[in-house]
Structure 1
Amino acid sequence: MNLHYRTIAVIVMALSFSICSAYAEGPSKADLAKAAQNPIANMISLPLQNNINTGIGPDNETQNILNIQPVYPFSLNDDWNVITRTILPVISQPGALTGDGRKNGLGDLNFTAFFSPAAAAAAFTWGIGPTFVLPTASDDALGSDKWSGGIAAVGLAMPGNWVVGSLVSNIWSIGGSGKNDVNLFTWQYFINYNLPNGWYLTSAPIYG
């Protein structure tokens, strides 16, 4: 189990670059592209993010994580929105020991509810709320076997062609059968530059 947590530490510090495209029609294409990059946009969406991490396990193999991230917002009242974001990882990774087969399946589900001002200022948007991790992993090697909860906050600005922001969270285990308690701080900043026709470049390293 300790080896598993050391592996996770390598994964969350990986720096990833990607080129993405937002598909839309008409003159609002650029605005929709920016909204797709905003984790607390008041818009229903189903982002899919695939991460490939190298140097994993005792034989320095490759791990693949496909994050399915449905976002569903709703209005709490005239002043506040609640933006719910769920992340369900589909994981394929090498075993913890040499000779072990690959582990394939679901990881732990992460649910976050951001409370965000309904009339957010154009220059800066923010949200804060509870975050929970459910032990949904299909294999012990793919999750913590712990129920966890904590707090998450995000803030971003969208000047010109840029979308720049930061997301922080901390979760603590509150139950479950896993041997190791969870106390995980995660920080991610993202810098996106929008190109014509809805395409954009993004850099979003995660530290934790």
Structure 2
Amino acid sequence: MKKTLLFSIIFSLSIIGFAQEEESASDLAKKLANPNATLGQMLFPIDYIHYSGDIPDANNQNAFLLNFQPSLPIPVSEGLNLYVRPLIPIYLSQPVIGSSDFESKGGLGNISADIAIGKTWPSKWITLAGVFGGFPTATNKALRSSQVTLGPEFMVAKLTSFGALGIIISHAWGVGDPSDPDATSTTVTPDDFWIAASGSANASVTAGQYFYTINLKNGWQINATPTYSYNHNGTDGNKFTFPIATGAQKVLKAGKMPIRLGLQYWYYVARPDAFGPQHQIRFTVAPVVPLPW
């Protein structure tokens, strides 16, 4: 019985993989433009970030960051999906403000995750509501958040004749004692929504992402997915971070597996005066995988 069940699962996944292979790259790219598509992806965003600011030597600081985010939606009914999406950051090189100068740190970052329900309506509008959380899991205390953060998350998007566009908004409140002696809040990590306020105040950060996709031919698309944040407890001039962005991506086949490759450029028109990101280049590798259910 167990062998029969195992064979059935392997056979089913093979059929799904074959169907994906037969589908054209252009058609698959259009499906992936839908933020509520029932398609599995293993996302690997790789970021290069250049910083600037008023702190001495801030303009010479750069970071390299690798993220891993599996996205395996669970279909509930037609057009209704459940999402449980962890985001695991790995800092290859991250500048932090030390006792007298900048220092470069690396290691596992603070893992975050969201649980949400997405719905596609007959009008081609898409809504999503859920809960977002961030956790102080960083292996290096200079990269570790001082609090667990929790809060609501919302998305609204529109499928259009050219592709899709939308925005995600979340708010995170700090939970627990923010004066953890083993953690520091001097780290600048523009992609993480768990950024704690300076000092001993509880974290209160409104953050999110806007995105757009324009379908072209042969699996090519113009797209961008930049993130923004507003630290309510930050000092004047050091609260708002917002980039404008553009990029391109293409879906291609590596054997039987479709892979989405993308390159984006973000320019931060608003950033902390003291120390914040100015330029960011994101390269994304995202294999499209069969759903396990």
Matched to 2:37, the amino acid is A
2:66 is aligned to 66
Kindly report the root-mean-square deviation, in angstroms, between the aligned alpha carbons of the 2 structures: 2.5
Structure 2 stretches of 5 or more lacking a match?
A: 1-19, 184-199, 230-293
2:124 is aligned to 123
Aligned CA distance change for structure 1 residues 53 and 37 (closer, same or farther; 3 Å): farther
The 3-state SS of whatever aligns with 2:207 is strand
Residues 73-126 of structure 1: CA distance to partner in whole angstroms, max 9, x if unpaired? 213467842112211111221231454431111211111111123x64362111
Aligned CA distance change for structure 1 residues 29 and 135 (closer, same or farther; 3 Å): same
Distance 1:143 1:37 in 2: 34
1:207 is aligned to 228
- Tell whether the 8 Å contact from 1:148 to 1:173 is kept in structure 2 after alignment: yes
Distance 1:192 1:78 in 2: 23
1:190 is aligned to 211
- Tell whether the 8 Å contact from 1:40 to 1:83 is kept in structure 2 after alignment: no
Residues 17-65 of structure 1: CA distance to partner in whole angstroms, max 9, x if unpaired? xxxxxxx644443342234344433222111112222125742211122
1:181 is aligned to 202
- Tell whether the 8 Å contact from 1:133 to 1:149 is kept in structure 2 after alignment: yes
Aligned CA distance change for structure 1 residues 90 and 26 (closer, same or farther; 3 Å): same
Larger radius of gyration: 2
Equivalences, count? 184
- Tell whether the 8 Å contact from 1:89 to 1:106 is kept in structure 2 after alignment: yes
- Tell whether the 8 Å contact from 1:166 to 1:190 is kept in structure 2 after alignment: yes
How does the TM-score come out when normalised to structure 1?
0.76
Give yes or no for the alignment of 1:144 onto 2:145: yes
Residues 119-144 of structure 1: CA distance to partner in whole angstroms, max 9, x if unpaired? 64362111101111111111222231
1:46 is aligned to 42
How does the TM-score come out when normalised to structure 2?
0.56
Distance 2:209 2:115 in 1: 17
The 3-state SS of whatever aligns with 1:135 is coil
